[in-house]
Amino acid sequence: MLEIDGLVKAYGENQVLKGVSFTVAPGQMFGFCGSNGAGKTTTMRIAMGLARADAGEVRWNGAPVDEAVRRRIGYMPEERGLYPKMKVREQLAYFARLHGMDAGSAGRAAGEWGERLGLGERLGDPVEKLSLGNQQRVQLAAALVSEPDVLILDEPFSGLDPVGVDSLAEALLDQCRRGVPVVFSSHQLDLVERLCDAVGILARGSMVATGTVAELRASAHGRQLRVVAPDAAAGWAAGLPGVRVVSESRGDTVLELQHGADDQQVLHAAVATGRVTHFAWREPTLVELFRDAVSAPATPVAVAA
């Protein structure tokens, strides 16, 4: 279990982290989301010992993360760190050696990971000859090549084409199946929603929401119901208790129900107008949940540890 516990960090007057906490269980994929400048990279750099927290701690299996543990963490930094003139295969083998693999295993793992991330034909090329997207794949392979116990990846999907996204997603899911906890930051919320068991949303240095996407949905203020009643006169739902009309267009109505409002009462009112051809809860997307969470006042609305 990876535990980020109460991280506080200021750069001068800028209070960047104000007590950031979350946990990532073995085999869990945790999507770390937040606006630009929210503090995601700073949190990851502290976990990797590249920046010091003013307070708080990062633990792996109950003990503070030290250099020995960090050698078992696969890390992909935001500022990519490859050697431009080194060939792809040598580069990957080098990273594997840095993480403690012997020369033979490192060479084999370099070839395997290169192939898996679609770099098979480029293994003999210097990194500087590769496109930016392919350099990104090399950086990912560098994080994965030592078969780490934990993965911490800063924006691993940015700059990848759809095939690259798919091969990375598959590689990360594979790691989760091996029991590896995976944390990655991303602004691609559709991907986070698709891949992650748990999500954390950071805003202005505080976690404003953590939990599964389903938990975040359940805690969202006001749930939306779409009702299509083609014969209904405009305004049919206005005045129903606990109901706000979000939009209404020729019998197609989206309603927001406060917690405790009775959806069956809405159904009765709709049926009273004539035919009802659609009546279903509309699930907010992670993008909508994110917008709500980051625009809310600074009170945390975390729904799960």
Ligand X SMILES: Nc1ncnc2c1ncn2[C@@H]1O[C@H](COP(=O)(O)OP(=O)(O)OP(=O)(O)O)[C@@H](O)[C@H]1O
Q: How many angstroms separate the first and last alpha carbons of the chain?
A: 13
- Nearest CA to 117 out of 172, 66, 80, 77 is that of 172
Return the sign of the alpha-carbon dihedral for residues 185, 188, 189, 192.
negative
Torsion, Cα 150 195 79 2, to 10 degrees, reads -30
Give the tokens for residue 265: 């009462």
Least gap, CB of 17 to ligand X (angstroms): 8
Q: Which residues are within 8 A (CB) of 238 and not within 5 positions of it... i.e. 6 or more apart?
A: 245
Q: Which of 11/83 has CB closer to ligand X?
A: 11
Least gap, CB of 16 to ligand X (angstroms): 4
Q: Which of 36/299 has CB closer to ligand X?
A: 36
- Nearest CA to 153 out of 177, 132, 114, 181 is that of 181
**Helix axes 88-98 and 103-116, enclosed angle (nearest 10):** 130
Q: Which of 50/173 has CB closer to ligand X?
A: 50
Least gap, CB of 83 to ligand X (angstroms): 23
Compute the distance between CA of residue 172 and CA of residue 27 in angstroms, rounded to an integer.
10
Least gap, CB of 23 to ligand X (angstroms): 19
β-sheet with 29-34: strand ranges across: 73-76, 150-154, 182-185, 29-34, 198-203, 206-211
Q: Which residues are within 8 A (CB) of 153 and not within 5 positions of it... i.e. 6 or more apart?
A: 74, 75, 76, 140, 143, 172, 182, 183, 184, 185
Q: Which of 24/237 has CB closer to ligand X?
A: 24
> Which parts of this chain interact with ligand X (CB under 6 A)?
11, 14, 16, 34, 36-42
Q: Which of 267/294 has CB closer to ligand X?
A: 294
Q: Which of 43/224 has CB closer to ligand X?
A: 43
Least gap, CB of 40 to ligand X (angstroms): 4
Q: Which of 158/258 has CB closer to ligand X?
A: 158
225 Rama class: left (phi>0) / alpha (psi -120 to 50) / beta? beta
Compute the distance between CA of residue 199 and CA of residue 211 in angstroms, rounded to an integer.
6
Compute the distance between CA of residue 77 and CA of residue 72 in angstroms, rounded to an integer.
15
Q: Which of 14/264 has CB closer to ligand X?
A: 14
Least gap, CB of 15 to ligand X (angstroms): 9
Compute the distance between CA of residue 37 and CA of residue 20 in angstroms, rounded to an integer.
14
